[in-house]
Amino acid sequence: MKTITSRVLGLMSAASLMALTAGGAIAQDKVTIAVSIPAATHGWTGGVVYHAEQAEKEIEAAFPNIDVIVKTSPSATAQVSALEDLSASQKLDALVILPFTSEELTGPVEQVKANGTFIAVVDRGLTDPSIQDLYVAGDNIAVGANTAKWMAEKLGNEGKIVVLRGIPTVIDDERIQGFTDVMKGTNIEILDIQYANWNQDEAFKLMQDYLAKYPHIDAVWANDDDMLLGVLEAIKQSGRTEIKYALGGNGMKDVVKMVMDENPMTPVSTPYPPSMIKSAIYMVAGQFNGQAPMRGNFKLDAPLITPQNADQFWYPDSPF
């Protein structure tokens, strides 16, 4: 497992494009790279779609022999159908996929691989990692663990908290594992932990339920910043004042701005850049222009975003 920083991953994208340009005269055979990603159902996936489309434009403009096909899907079922359509209609030299859910996409991706297709998986790993030739993701265990360590320290290892999960995926499991493993070593009680599907509206409703059910809550962890916005709105409308902290994760620009402004309820976050999809596409494209295929696992680190370093994670022009 190779651990890299978010900044290094961005530099790898630029370096990959320059390397592709240098090797442009080597490969002239037509190459098809399919990119299968969730639709922009929330802020983070909106960023994923943006960066995937940017990679498609840049690579195709520079290299007429490479055809990048970006397909978005609003559900796991739709993504399975999209994969079937893509593989049935043409030969795929490579597939870059961010699975909607891990379990439902593992079998279909394995079928694509059986045709000799290079498989690059981003973010949400498959349940059978042996299918993946290349894997690019964040360190989700660290996202949960680093958040839990900060929260536990600030609460003095005492208190009652509630947690909001994303959707059933490997990365959600890992974030929850990292968080709960740390909390097991404290006297902090996790009152409830339920799915809100990385959706702001669902998180708002779930937090309303938590507030109605539990008369005292010391802190909240929503393991995604879209959900955090829903949580914060529910707390605001409730008028409850005992909740000390509401934290998320992913480094949404709105939340990074809260950290920069030293918001007392949300003073820290963790990065999880959607631009990792763009880097993965570049890394895959390189092998078709004379570079050796990049294989193995690349994992982003997950340092806490604090008022002291928030400017390093602040991208006001980003869609996320």
What lies within 8 Å, CB to CB, of 7 at 6+ separation is 312
Residue 152 is predicted with a pLDDT of 98
Average pLDDT over residues 27-43: 87
The fraction of the chain above a pLDDT of 90, given in percent, is 72
Indicate if the pLDDT at residue 259 is higher than 50.
Answer: yes
Beta bridge partners of 190: 161
Indicate if the pLDDT at residue 37 is higher than 70.
Answer: yes
**Contact present, 162 and 210 (Cβ < 8 Å):** yes
Q: Binning pLDDT at 50, 70 and 90, where does residue 11 land?
A: very low
Side chain identity at residue 282, one-letter code:
Y
Q: Global pTM?
A: 0.73
What lies within 8 Å, CB to CB, of 189 at 6+ separation is 159, 160, 161
Beta bridge partners of 31: 66
Q: Binning pLDDT at 50, 70 and 90, where does residue 314 land?
A: confident
Indicate if the pLDDT at residue 42 is higher than 80.
Answer: no
C-alpha torsion 212→216→218→223, nearest 10 = -20
Name the more confident of 44 and 165. Answer: 165
CA distance 276 to 242: 37
Indicate if the pLDDT at residue 10 is higher than 50.
Answer: no
Phi, psi of 204 (to 5 degrees): -60, -45
Q: What is the mean pLDDT of the chain?
A: 90
Domains by residue range for the chain, with CATH: 2-139+273-303 (3.40.50.2300), 140-260 (3.40.50.2300)
Q: Binning pLDDT at 50, 70 and 90, where does residue 27 land?
A: very low
How many other C-beta atoms lie within 10 A of the C-beta of residue 296? 11
Q: Binning pLDDT at 50, 70 and 90, where does residue 275 land?
A: confident
Residue 44 is predicted with a pLDDT of 85
Indicate if the pLDDT at residue 19 is higher than 80.
Answer: no
Pairing of the two strands 245-247 and 118-122: unpaired
